[in-house]
């Protein structure tokens, strides 16, 4: 390159101040879907972050499949950055979106980009929850908003989820919205005390210490535990009990652990 042209290129960069433009919009002509991000209001005014993926090549009205999660809606709904909806969403969603379903993921209250307070395995309204909201009402309010605001929907909604997300799926059935037509809970957390993830026949599974720590020490992905040990087994063995381990690593300040 001649010296004069090099000087021109250099002066152009210096004039703009950066090689990164102030505003840049992705060209979306190759996309076969519309992706929306919405803050859906609940009956108590708290807004929940929701991702909505609408197939662009579907004809007629489309049913909605919803998953509510404490594990990041953005992460769940973003397998790749492909303009093809079946490649962008998780692999398990491919059959749904190829067959004209709108796919929706939502952060539960208090987690990641949703507002409000997070309570692990929140009790339903009643003796253990004197408030006006729970996961039942949040599911109802979400479905009501979706059928009234998402373009091209058929007014029919299904809900699905695995493990904790399966519990949230079951919660929607306790007071089902009229638009809720199908529910598919997979390996749902139902009886934590006897045989599910937290306890086994009444004995706390030691691995749940790390789960509770990561889920509640931060609104987002949670903190890794600074073990100083090869593995969790070694840490518990040296501490002598799971309770002592919790005290050593500050879990006694986490309401869900106590």
Give domain status of residue 16, yes or no: no
Same domain, 180 and 214: no
Instruction: Give how many domains the chain has, as a whole number.
Output: 2
Domain boundary among 161, 186, 211: 186
Contacts (Cβ under 8 Å, ≥6 apart) of 71: 111, 164, 165
- The answer to whether 78 touches 37, Cβ cutoff 8 Å, is no
Show the domain range for 206.
199-253
Q: Which of 104, 103, 99 is nearest to 59 (CA)?
A: 99
Same domain, 246 and 123: no
Q: Rounded distance, CA 163 to CA 174, Å?
A: 18
Same domain, 125 and 228: no
Same domain, 182 and 235: no
Same domain, 163 and 220: no
For residue 140, the SS3 value is: helix
- The answer to whether 254 touches 213, Cβ cutoff 8 Å, is yes
Same domain, 220 and 165: no
Q: pLDDT tens, position by position, for the chain (258 residues)?
A: 555 544 444 444 455 578 999 898 877 766 767 888 999 999 999 999 999 988 887 667 999 999 999 999 998 888 777 776 776 777 788 888 888 899 999 999 999 999 999 999 999 999 999 999 999 999 999 999 999 999 999 999 999 999 999 999 999 999 999 999 999 999 998 888 876 678 888 888 888 888 888 889 888 876 677 777 888 888 889 999 988 999 998 888 999 888
Domain boundary among 186, 215, 230: 186
Same domain, 166 and 243: no
Q: Read off the CATH number of the domain in which 87 is found.
A: 3.40.50.1820
Q: What does each C-alpha distance from 123 to 26, 113, 163 come to in angstroms?
A: 43, 22, 17
Give domain status of residue 41, yes or no: yes
Same domain, 66 and 172: yes
Q: Is 87 exposed, middle or buried (0-12, 13-18, 19+ CB in 10 A)?
A: middle
Give domain status of residue 194, yes or no: no
Task: Cite the DSSP H helix spans in the chain.
Answer: 3-16, 73-76, 85-88, 94-98, 135-149, 164-171, 207-216, 232-239, 242-248
């Amino acid at each position: 390159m001649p010296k004069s042209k090099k000087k021109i290129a250099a002066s152009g960069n210096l004039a703009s101040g950066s090689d990164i433009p102030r505003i840049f919009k992705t060209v979306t002509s190759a996309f076969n879907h519309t992706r929306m991000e919405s803050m859906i209001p609940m009956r108590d005014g708290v807004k929940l972050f929701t991702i909505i993926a609408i197939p662009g090549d579907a004809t007629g009205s489309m049913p909605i499949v919803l998953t509510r999660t404490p594990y990041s809606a953005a992460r769940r709904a973003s397998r790749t950055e492909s303009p093809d909806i079946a490649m962008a969403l998780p692999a398990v969603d491919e059959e749904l979106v190829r067959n004209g379903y709108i796919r929706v993921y939502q952060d539960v209250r208090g987690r990641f980009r949703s507002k409000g307070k997070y309570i692990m395995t929140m009790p339903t309204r009643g003796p253990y929850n004197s408030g006006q909201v729970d996961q039942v009402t949040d599911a109802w309010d979400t479905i009501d908003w979706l059928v009234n605001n998402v373009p091209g929907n058929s007014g029919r909604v299904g809900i699905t989820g695995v493990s904790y997300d399966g519990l949230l799926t079951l919660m929607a059935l306790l007071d089902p919205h009229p638009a809720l037509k199908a529910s598919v809970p997979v390996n749902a957390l139902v009886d934590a005390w006897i045989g599910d993830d937290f306890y086994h026949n009444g004995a706390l599974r030691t691995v749940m210490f790390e789960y509770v720590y990561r889920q509640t020490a931060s609104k987002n992905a949670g903190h890794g535990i600074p073990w100083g040990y090869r593995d969790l087994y070694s840490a518990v063995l040296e501490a002598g009990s799971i309770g002592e381990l919790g005290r050593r690593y500050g879990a006694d300040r986490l309401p869900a652990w106590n």
